[in-house]
Amino acid sequence: MKGYRTIIWNGLNAMVLGMESVMNMAGTGYTIPESYMPLWMGVFAVVNIVLRFKTTTPVGKSDV
């Protein structure tokens, strides 16, 4: 799965934040407590930076 880790990570984050919006609009509560949102966004950014440095080829390409 060379090159797909960043896409998977961003997709998972989009799903979590999408559910956050849906649950907030429905009034059923939050998936991520508001006080933890800055931490979540910080972790999201750091993981993206790490994955960017680890990725050396375009999505779907292989070094071999």
4-15 pLDDT tens trace: 777 888 888 888
Residue 30 lies in a domain: yes
For residue 59, being part of any structural domain is answered with no
Domain with 20 in it: 5-54
Looking at per-residue pLDDT, the higher value among 64 and 50 belongs to 50
In a domain, 60, yes or no: no
| Contact between 62 and 2 (Cβ < 8 Å) | yes
Torsion angle of the four alpha carbons 48, 50, 54, 55, in this order, in degrees rounded to the nearest 10: 10
Does 39 fall in a domain? Answer: yes
- pLDDT of 35: 85
Residue with tokens 């509560």: 29
Task: Taking the CA atoms of 3, 51, 53 and 41 in sequence, report the sign of the dihedral they define.
Answer: positive
Number of domains in the chain: 1
pTM of the model: 0.62
